[in-house]
Structures are given as structure tokens and as C-alpha cells.
Structure 1
Amino acid sequence: MGRYISMFFLTVFTGILLMFLILLVLGDLVGEVDIALCILFIIFGSFIITQLFYIIELMKKGRK
């Protein structure tokens, strides 16, 4: 279970880092609401990615 928690936080931190790098390139075109929505989408997307890895692992165990 710890592997999936670390995978979740890794994808969250990577997504937030990429978001801020893109914001640095674009300049000050987005507001606080847009940043909050981006962070929410990153968290939900990371959760979905982590759950997909968990489901794939369960399917591999089911075949054995």
C-alpha cells in the first residue's frame, strides 16, 4: 500500500511542478481561481492514475 501512496504523491508533485513551470513561461495570465482548479485537477488525475496502477496489479495477481 505504501508503494501506491508514494506513487500518488510523486504524480501530484510532478504535476504541480509542471503546472508552475508552464505558468512561468506564460506569464501572469491566469488568476488564483485557475491555479486552484489546476491543483484540483492534478490531485484527481493523480488519484485516478494511482488507482489504475492498483487495478493493473490486482489483475496480474488474479492471473497467477
Structure 2
Amino acid sequence: MMEVIFDTSTLKKEQERELLTGFDEQVWRGLVDFLIVYKNGKVEIQFLDGYIKAINKNDCMV
């Protein structure tokens, strides 16, 4: 049986992080490769890991 060791220092570091409440360019650059905005309002975001998320203008709240 494998023994699982819980490292409380990692939990403490997570708790000390500030809540992201606005745009953070450093976070953006660390996650997003590029995005495409189409004439019909559709937006595709490609993340650095290759994942693509498509968003339609009707899905957004303004």
C-alpha cells in the first residue's frame, strides 16, 4: 500500500495567495497563446497547452 504524505506548506502557500479580482497581464501571458475574434461575434481562445475554448457573443454577460 502506498503511503500518502500531506504537505501542509503547500496548503499554506495556497491560502496566502491573493484573489484575482481584475485583469492580470502576467496570468494572461502564462495561460493564453492567442485568440481569434470573428465578425459574427464568436471568439476562440487557444491556451498554451493547445486547448481551444470557443465563446459566442450570446454566451457572454456584459
Higher strand share: 2
> TM-score by structure 2 length?
0.24
Higher helix share: 1
Structure number with the bigger relative contact order (C-alpha 8 A, sep ≥ 6) is: 1
Structure showing greater radius of gyration is 2
